[in-house]
Chains A and B, each alone.
Chain A
Amino acid sequence: MTNEAKKQIIDVGDGAAIPRKSDLGLFTAWRIAFFGAIGVLGYLAYTKPDPYLNILKFVPDGILVTFQVTLGAIGLAIVLGLITGLGRISKNRFFNGVASLYVEIIRGIPLLVQIFYIYYALGRVVKVPAVLSAIIAMAVCYGAYMGEVVRAGIESIAKGQNEAALSLGMNGRQTMLHVILPQAVKVILPPVGNEFIALLKDSSLVSIIAVADLLRRGREFASESFTYFETYTVIALVYLIITLFFSKIIGVLEERVSVNK
């Protein structure tokens, strides 16, 4: 029956492997990786406090900055993505054209280049903190991808839903707001979670423009103590623990949404 919500998972796939219960292999792997990483980190810090414990004490500031950049950018990217997604399906040629152009241009330029570019371009006009510049750069980039996720989510809602709303006298805006978007959100949620994790990982790129994120803090420590191998071991494990933690949360959220109704 066409009015049953189409089950559709848009797997963007550049985030993390979401441990779904249906995928027993990943589910088990998640446990081994997550608790293994915590165990290794704890073991190293306990048995060789110099340098491991020192590194661990040095990087929390960076973790906070990484979260700051990630959360700021994802929030802004969702807003940009919503506008872009609506633009991409709009019949208004100007709105559609601008949205499509944005997607086309942004997806064609490497993120690292965008981060440099926005940092220096913004710097010519206004003096903004590097963190803000980083957030804007990440959001502009991810907004383009998010726009495609939103568009796909909206288009996945059966045509009959639109027709039913219109036939009740609702206009396009009311239909979108009350009927299409609430249903699209459920379809969009998993890929947005995926984008979130991808963004969290990519946020390490901002260390290039004097933003003291997790990676940059690690580099600072390493270059002073010459413990490159040890420091990057810790940095990698911390990133791993963070992303696994969030992928678990997203997995749980996904299940909630699919059980509900």
Chain B
Amino acid sequence: MSTNRRKMVEATEIVKIYGSFKALDRVSFDVFDGEKVVIIGPSGSGKSTLLRSINRLEVIDRGRILVDGIDINAAKTDITKIREEVGMVFQSFNLFPHKTVLENLTLAQIVVRKRSRQDAEERAMALLERVGLAEKAKAYPGKLSGGQQQRVAIARSLAMDPKMLLFDEPTSALDPEMIGEVLDVMKSVAREGMTMAVVTHEMGFAREVADRVIFMDAGRIVEEGTPEHFFTAPTHDRAKLFLSQIL
């Protein structure tokens, strides 16, 4: 990772507190343009909070987060402009159940990106083709399997042509036989050079796709490095323990 590359995310000493619980305890980390960062750690370690603070679904209490050079928590920042560029894929898919698959992909393109319906639909169909669900364009999300819904959700994020994608445990709600199809789509997105931050328990995916693995525990980053380093020679005891339990 050369340091002269542009930083998509630059988080400095961020703190998030729920009541008396420190979800994030002075965390600093960067994501470079085109980089794939996988964030792992036990539940409650703050990894989802970290991810969600990047598009300000969680508002941090202290510290600073720059996304593409813009301080997202500054008073003058229009957060919707940031969110247009930073897509998010959720554990529970969150497709809009009252809209068809196609409409799920076109809504924000039309409303936010101000594209014409025709342009939006063309873009949407191309993406549905890519995730292998073109024939489901007119279906409602409720008629799709979990894996299919998540692939649609990824396509929905891509339809905005974001600079970066955040994945918050995208396969955790899926039946085991559907995990593969979603990971395949994520890998293909990664191959095309998308900047990605992924919270996941899929160690195979981390090994294969990640440029860098971040291990979190108790609201802090305790270990950080390449997948080779992390999976073969972790230095921190907590990381070793976690790996021995999960692998």
Taking Cβ atoms with an 8 Å cutoff, the residues of A that contact B are: 1-5, 158, 160-161, 163-171, 174, 178-179, 182-183, 186, 261
CB contact list, B48-65 vs A, under 8 A: 55, 57
Stretch at the interface among B86-94, B195-203, B212-220: B86-94
Q: Does B182 contact A (CB under 8 A)?
A: no
Asked if B160 contacts A168 (CB within 8 A), the reply is yes
Residue contacts A-B, CB under 8 angstroms, 19 given: A2-B92, A3-B92, A3-B93, A3-B149, A4-B97, A158-B94, A163-B94, A165-B96, A166-B57, A167-B86, A167-B157, A168-B157, A169-B83, A169-B84, A169-B85, A170-B112, A178-B111, A261-B97, A261-B98
CB contact list, B131-184 vs A, under 8 A: 140-142, 146, 149, 153, 156-157, 160, 173
Asked if A3 contacts B141 (CB within 8 A), the reply is yes
Q: Does B188 contact A (CB under 8 A)?
A: no
Asked if A178 contacts B107 (CB within 8 A), the reply is yes
Given contacts A164-B94, A178-B107, contact A171 B142 (CB under 8 A): no
Q: Quick one: which of A4, A160, A168, A183 contacts B83, CB cutoff 8 A?
A: A168
Given contacts A178-B107, A261-B142, contact A168 B156 (CB under 8 A): yes
Asked if A161 contacts B83 (CB within 8 A), the reply is no
Kindly list 14 other residue pairs between chains A and B, CB separation below 8 angstroms, not including A3-B95, A166-B83, A261-B97.
A2-B92, A2-B94, A3-B94, A4-B97, A160-B92, A161-B94, A161-B96, A164-B95, A164-B96, A167-B87, A168-B156, A170-B112, A174-B111, A183-B96
Given contacts A2-B92, A169-B80, A183-B98, contact A163 B57 (CB under 8 A): yes
Asked if B160 contacts A169 (CB within 8 A), the reply is yes
Q: Does B76 contact A (CB under 8 A)?
A: no
Asked if B142 contacts A169 (CB within 8 A), the reply is no
Query: Which residues in A have their C-beta under 8 angstroms from that of B243?
Result: none
Report whether over half of chain B's contact residues are helix, strand or loop; otherwise say mixed: mixed
Asked if A167 contacts B81 (CB within 8 A), the reply is no
Q: Tell which of A5, A169, A174, A261 has the most Cβ of chain B within 10 Å.
A: A169
In the complex, the chain A residue whose C-beta lies closest to that of B89 is A167
Q: Does B66 contact A (CB under 8 A)?
A: no
Asked if B112 contacts A167 (CB within 8 A), the reply is no
Q: How large is the interface on B (under 10, 10 to 19, 20 to 34, 35 or more residues)?
A: 20 to 34
Q: How far is the CA of A195 from the CA of B46 in the complex (A)?
A: 46
Q: Does B70 contact A (CB under 8 A)?
A: no
Which 6 A-B pairs give the minimum distances between C-beta atoms? A169-B84, A164-B94, A168-B108, A167-B88, A160-B94, A2-B92
Q: Measured between C-beta atoms, what is the minimum distance from B114 to chain A in Å?
A: 11
Asked if B80 contacts A1 (CB within 8 A), the reply is no
Asked if A1 contacts B112 (CB within 8 A), the reply is no
Query: Which residues in B have their C-beta under 8 angstroms from that of A174?
Result: 111-112
Q: Quick one: which of B57, B81, B93, B97 contacts A169, CB cutoff 8 A?
A: B81
Asked if A168 contacts B87 (CB within 8 A), the reply is yes
Asked if B94 contacts A170 (CB within 8 A), the reply is no
Query: Which residues in A have their C-beta under 8 angstroms from that of B87?
Result: 167-168
Q: How far is the CA of A166 from the CA of B107 in the complex (A)?
A: 12
Q: Measured between C-beta atoms, what is the minimum distance from B115 to chain A in Å?
A: 12
Q: How far is the CA of A110 from the CA of B94 in the complex (A)?
A: 43
Query: Which residues in B have their C-beta under 8 angstroms from that of A171?
Result: 80
Given contacts A3-B93, A161-B94, contact A170 B111 (CB under 8 A): yes
Q: Tell which of B84, B94, B153 has the most Cβ of chain A within 10 Å.
A: B94
Q: How far is the CA of A165 from the CA of B98 in the complex (A)?
A: 13
Query: Which residues in A have their C-beta under 8 angstroms from that of B111?
Result: 170, 174, 178
Q: How far is the CA of A2 from the CA of B169 in the complex (A)?
A: 14
Query: Which residues in A have their C-beta under 8 angstroms from that of B98?
Result: 5, 182-183, 186, 261
Q: How far is the CA of A160 from the CA of B94 in the complex (A)?
A: 6
